[in-house]
């Protein structure tokens, strides 16, 4: 028999259906509650609200579990690569040899961007943050591919938009940075893998001198896999809500990029490095800053520690910590800022204050360290996150369209003035 929950309001009982997911997550379906009782639910930040049913990513914050389409993140990070994971997220299954070849060949075919895009890029001053430029470049694709304005056109058209988005992302991302430093752009080299192609376009010296480094490419690829999806986080929810209005895939992705930009979401890894630089500038005394972090009145908060959904540990951080150690060792990086990071990490992992409060280093902490060690500029950290998150946004946008979800339209509890008469300006 179907389970129900009972809610009593003013002595009247309402029966609410209970929905159970494949991992036994339980939700109370309040979809008809307003029609039946006139009452809405209130949940600021939607922290306890399931906004959709999704078959893409499973996350258990208490147990530190993250799975894409049923595959453990640990297994994917150890054995797969970013484009294979992108295929898995978007199409639901790991690709066969043939499917993988077609998918990656199709991506290579579309890495170039329309040359007129450069005119749009040239319009940005070099003070423009690369995230704003990236969001604009994505949105501009609706002009180059106007057929994308109808997201229900055909599955072939959707496939092409998906491939174009994944193919052009490294080009847009690198160009957004080139604009910020005032350098000429480099064009995509399709003989390289996804991450090396991006690094070559980002390269400061003439691109011909670029030597791909497998250690760098592997570390980046792993980071992209770890960031590829994270169920209904802020940017993904944004992509879904924008997509629910039947907006094109490019404008939905552009909205996701804007949501990711904020320091509370994708900008967190950038904040980690800024904090470490501040500590170094102050003399590098980590004990002093640890004491400040413990003092509620200091106003200082350690960036990159703890997580809003993982209550015990961030499974992505466990994987990436090892990659960070390997990268630092292999590249022989000698950087006082990264030494401070290592000291903070050590203290946080053994100090009972941090252990009791579950303030363990999270994925943003280690990704910031790796990006810095790889020589990726701080302003590009959030762009790297966007590059990783792209397959997740695409998969969630596609799922929403395929499930024919209704337009997103939350309710509110109004707390403003009651009806009052208009007073002409001279009488106020």
Under 8 Å between Cβ of 385 and 248 = no
**15 scored as a contact of ligand MLT (CB under 6 A):** no
- The count of residues interacting with ligand MLT (CB under 6 A) is 5
Give me the least distance between CB of 411 and ligand MLT, in Å please. Answer: 23
Report the residue number, 141 or 382, with the smaller CB distance to ligand MLT. Answer: 382
DSSP code of residue 361: B
DSSP code of residue 416: S
Give me the least distance between CB of 409 and ligand MLT, in Å please. Answer: 22
Catalytic residue, candidates 193, 229, 230, 307: 307
Phi, psi of 28 (to 5 degrees): -95, 125
Give me the least distance between CB of 235 and ligand MLT, in Å please. Answer: 7
Positive or negative torsion for Cα 216, 219, 224, 227:
negative
Helix (H, G, I), strand (E, B), or coil: what is residue 59? strand
**309 scored as a contact of ligand MLT (CB under 6 A):** yes
CA distance 137 to 173: 9
In sequence order, the 6+-apart residues with CB closer than 8 A to the CB of 154 are none
**53 scored as a contact of ligand MLT (CB under 6 A):** no
Give me the least distance between CB of 74 and ligand MLT, in Å please. Answer: 16
Under 8 Å between Cβ of 7 and 17 = no
Report the residue number, 185 or 226, with the smaller CB distance to ligand MLT. Answer: 226
Catalytic residue, candidates 193, 221, 229, 364: 364
Does residue 24 come out as left (phi exceeding 0), alpha (psi in the -120 to 50 range) or beta? left
CA angle 160, 163, 167 (to 5 degrees): 135
DSSP code of residue 284: -
Tell me the two tokens of residue 28: 């109370």
Which helix (H) or strand (E) segment is 5 a member of?
strand 4-9
Report the residue number, 130 or 256, with the smaller CB distance to ligand MLT. Answer: 256
User: What angle do the packed helices 336-350 and 286-294 form, to 10 degrees?
Assistant: 50
CA distance 179 to 132: 11
Contacts with ligand MLT in 17-46 (CB under 6 A)? Answer: none
Give me the least distance between CB of 173 and ligand MLT, in Å please. Answer: 18
Report the residue number, 200 or 230, with the smaller CB distance to ligand MLT. Answer: 230
Of the candidates 287, 286, 369, the residue with the CA atom closest to the CA atom of residue 323: 369
Under 8 Å between Cβ of 36 and 49 = no
Residue with tokens 């001279």: 426
**111 scored as a contact of ligand MLT (CB under 6 A):** no
Report the residue number, 158 or 237, with the smaller CB distance to ligand MLT. Answer: 237
Contacts with ligand MLT in 184-203 (CB under 6 A)? Answer: none
Q: Lay out the site mask for ligand MLT across 254-293 (x = CB under 6 A, - = otherwise).
A: -----------x----------------------------
120, 292, 346, 361, 379 from 341: Cα distances, Å = 39, 16, 9, 10, 19
**233 scored as a contact of ligand MLT (CB under 6 A):** yes
**168 scored as a contact of ligand MLT (CB under 6 A):** no
CA distance 210 to 208: 6
Q: Kindly state the greatest CA–CA separation across the chain.
A: 77
Residue 364 catalytic? yes
Give me the least distance between CB of 366 and ligand MLT, in Å please. Answer: 13
Give me the least distance between CB of 219 and ligand MLT, in Å please. Answer: 18
Contacts with ligand MLT in 313-342 (CB under 6 A)? Answer: none
Report the residue number, 45 or 283, with the smaller CB distance to ligand MLT. Answer: 45
Give me the least distance between CB of 399 and ligand MLT, in Å please. Answer: 17
When binding is defined by CB under 6 A, the residue of 178, 222, 230, 321 that contacts ligand MLT is 230
When binding is defined by CB under 6 A, the residue of 308, 322, 357, 358 that contacts ligand MLT is 308
Report the residue number, 168 or 389, with the smaller CB distance to ligand MLT. Answer: 389
Residues contributing to the site for ligand MLT (CB under 6 A): 230, 233, 265, 308-309
- Which residues are catalytic, by number? 307, 364
């Amino acid at each position: 028999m179907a389970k129900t929950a009972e809610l009593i309001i003013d002595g009247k009982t309402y029966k609410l259906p209970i929905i159970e997911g494949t991992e036994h997550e339980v939700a109370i379906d309040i979809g008809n509650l307003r029609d039946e009782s006139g009452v809405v639910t209130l949940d600021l930040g939607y922290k306890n609200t399931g906004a959709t049913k999704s078959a893409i990513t499973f996350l258990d914050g208490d147990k530190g579990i993250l799975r894409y389409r049923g595959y453990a993140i640990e297994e994917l990070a150890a054995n797969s690569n970013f484009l294979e994971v992108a295929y898995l997220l978007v199409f639901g299954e790991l690709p066969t040899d043939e499917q993988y070849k077609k998918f990656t060949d199709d991506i290579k075919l579309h890495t170039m961007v329309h040359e007129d895009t450069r005119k749009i890029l040239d319009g940005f001053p070099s003070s423009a943050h690369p995230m704003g430029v990236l969001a604009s470049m994505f949105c501009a694709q609706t002009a180059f591919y106007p057929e994308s304005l109808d997201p229900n056109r055909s599955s072939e058209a959707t496939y092409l938009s998906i491939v174009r988005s994944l193919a052009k992302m490294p080009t847009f991302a690198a160009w957004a940075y080139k604009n910020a430093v005032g350098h000429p752009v480099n064009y995509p080299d399709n003989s390289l893998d996804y991450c090396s192609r991006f690094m070559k376009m980002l390269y400061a010296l003439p691109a011909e001198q670029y030597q791909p480094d497998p250690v760098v490419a592997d570390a980046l690829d792993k980071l992209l896999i770890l960031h590829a999806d994270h169920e209904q986080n802020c940017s993904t929810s944004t992509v879904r809500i924008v997509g629910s209005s039947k907006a094109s895939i490019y404008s939905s992705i552009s909205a996701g990029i804007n949501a990711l930009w904020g320091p509370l979401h994708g900008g967190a890894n950038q904040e980690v490095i800024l904090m470490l630089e501040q500590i170094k500038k102050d003399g590098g005394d980590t004990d002093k800053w640890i004491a400040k972090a413990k003092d509620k009145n200091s106003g200082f908060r350690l960036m990159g520690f703890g997580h809003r959904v993982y209550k015990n540990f961030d499974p992505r951080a466990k994987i990436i910590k090892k990659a960070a150690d390997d990268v630092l060792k292999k590249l022989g990086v000698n950087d006082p800022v990264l030494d401070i990071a290592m000291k903070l990490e050590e203290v946080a992992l053994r100090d009972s204050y941090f252990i009791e409060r579950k303030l363990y280093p999270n994925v943003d902490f280690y990704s910031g360290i790796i990006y810095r060690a790889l020589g990726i500029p701080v302003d590009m950290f959030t762009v790297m996150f966007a590059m990783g998150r792209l397959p997740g946004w695409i998969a969630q946008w596609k799922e929403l369209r395929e499930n024919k979800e209704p337009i997103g339209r939350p309710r509110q509890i109004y707390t403003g003035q009651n009806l009052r008469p208009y007073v002409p300006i001279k009488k106020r």
